[in-house]
């Protein structure tokens, strides 16, 4: 199993939209089995992926919070075949990485889950919160790779330094961790190599095929079905397909 954390310490950079569409594309066009992990206490991924599921499937016992606090994880089905999810609950917010016992988190538990399900899934995609929380630490310990979805503006680029610093710290604990690359999101034109993308490339990071801005993405969040179902011809969907192909073919980036 290939384990990827989708991370940016900024909110609203399309982490969750990327997790949803990557999972759907990995299954539909590449026949891959995917385990999604929702590591964000806002639960956007969980709500999106389990909206169509029967009540019994939607229960939240056994989510990531339970796993990180020593209880049994319960993996649930989503509306997409071969795509399952370990859900989030809002109590993830209460986890403190530094406290031993009590509210302290077992940050190795996701790595253990990875071992357990190694043969069952081809990809684990972890939708991280916009914070360096206990769940984010657990994700970076379990992961091989990090994808950084990013809006190419000055705020996003400035935020990178902090994120790279945190990733480097985590590499002391998990030396296998690499940055797969930056995924520019919400771009006005995919073919445009902006000054910002050029800057990032010059810094030695891989910059993936950019995802165009499309009104169909907001619409998708209401329809609760990935772009390949709701708007297969929109620019963002075409770009996510190109990105997934690039991601699957490309090796890790060893620059950081
Ligand atoms: N390619 C895109 N085009 C237009 N809007 C987008 C695109 N990608 C994401 N969005 C919108 O940006 C907002 C944030 O996306 P989300 O995935 O929730 O970010 P994050 O998980 O990083 O906080 C959502 O309203 C989403 O619909
Ligand atoms: Mg999110």
* Closest residue by Cα to residue 68 from 168, 159, 137, 155: 137
Q: Where are the domains of the chain?
A: 2-247
Could you read off the pLDDT of 119-165 as tens digits, one per residue?
Answer: 999 999 999 999 999 999 999 999 999 999 999 888 888 888 899 99
User: How confident is residue 100, by pLDDT bands cut at 50, 70 and 90?
Assistant: low
Q: What is the pTM of this model?
A: 0.94
Chain mean pLDDT for the chain = 90
What dotted CATH number matches 2-247?
A: 3.40.50.300
- Range scoring the smallest mean pLDDT among 88-102, 163-177, 190-204: 190-204
Torsion, Cα 39 43 47 49, to 10 degrees, reads -20
Question: Could you give the C-alpha distances from 228 to 83, 158, 245, in angstroms and in order?
Answer: 14, 33, 15
Q: What pLDDT does 121 receive?
A: 98
Could you read off the pLDDT of 112-127 as tens digits, one per residue?
Answer: 999 999 999 999 999 9
Torsion, Cα 21 66 132 116, to 10 degrees, reads -60
* Closest residue by Cα to residue 5 from 44, 34, 29, 37: 37
- Looking at per-residue pLDDT, the higher value among 68 and 55 belongs to 68
Q: Which of 217, 223, 225, 238 to mutate to test the pocket of ligand 1 (most atoms within 8 A of CB)?
A: 217
State which H helix or E strand residue 35 sits in.
strand 34-38
Say whether pLDDT at 196 is over 90: no
User: How confident is residue 98, by pLDDT bands cut at 50, 70 and 90?
Assistant: low
Say whether pLDDT at 9 is over 60: yes
- Please report which ligand is nearest the Cα atom of 231: 1
- Report the phi/psi class of residue 119: left, alpha or beta, with left for phi > 0 and alpha for psi in -120 to 50: alpha
- Name the β-bridge partners of 125: 4, 36
Q: Using the 8-state DSSP alphabet, how is residue 187 labeled?
A: B
Report the separation in Å between the CA atom of 9 and the middle of ligand 2, taken as the mean of its atom positions. 11
Residue percentage of the chain with pLDDT more than 70: 90
- Range scoring the smallest mean pLDDT among 136-150, 186-200, 219-233: 186-200
Q: What CA–CA distance (Å, rounded) separates 169 from 28?
A: 36
| Residues shown for the chain | 256
Strands 83-86 and 34-38, sheet pairing: parallel
Which amino acids bring their CB within 6 angstroms of ligand 1? 11-17, 44, 185-186, 211, 213-214, 217-218, 221, 236
Strands 178-185 and 145-151, sheet pairing: parallel
Q: What pLDDT does 171 receive?
A: 97
- Looking at per-residue pLDDT, the higher value among 192 and 52 belongs to 52
Q: What pLDDT does 204 receive?
A: 85
Residue percentage of the chain with pLDDT more than 90: 75
Report the separation in Å between the CA atom of 185 and the middle of ligand 1, taken as the mean of its atom positions. 8
């Amino acid at each position: 199993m290939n384990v990827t954390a989708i991370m940016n310490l900024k909110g609203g950079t399309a982490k969750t939209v990327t997790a949803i569409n990557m999972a759907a594309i990995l299954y539909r066009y590449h026949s891959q089995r995917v385990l999604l992990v929702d590591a964000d206490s806002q639960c956007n991924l969980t709500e999106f992926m389990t909206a169509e599921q029967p009540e019994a499937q939607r229960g939240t016992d056994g989510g990531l919070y339970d796993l990180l606090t020593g209880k049994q994880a319960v993996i649930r089905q989503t509306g997409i075949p071969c795509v399952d999810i370990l859900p989030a609950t809002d109590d993830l917010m209460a986890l403190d990485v530094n406290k031993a016992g009590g509210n302290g988190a077992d940050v190795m538990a996701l790595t253990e889950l990875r071992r357990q399900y190694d043969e069952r899934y081809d990809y684990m995609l972890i939708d991280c919160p916009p914070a360096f929380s206990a769940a984010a630490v657990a994700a970076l310990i379990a992961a091989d790779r990090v994808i950084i979805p990013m809006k190419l503006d000055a705020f996003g680029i400035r935020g990178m330094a902090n994120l790279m610093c945190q990733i480097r710290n985590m590499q002391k604990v998990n030396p296998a961790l690499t940055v797969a690359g930056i995924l520019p999101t919400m771009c006005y034109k995919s073919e445009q190599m902006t000054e910002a993308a050029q800057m990032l490339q010059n810094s030695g990071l891989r910059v993936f095929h950019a995802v165009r801005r499309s009104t169909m993405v907001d619409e998708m969040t209401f329809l609760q079905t990935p772009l390949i179902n709701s708007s297969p011809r929109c620019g963002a969907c075409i770009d996510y397909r190109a990105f997934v192909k690039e991601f699957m073919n490309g090796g890790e980036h060893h620059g950081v």
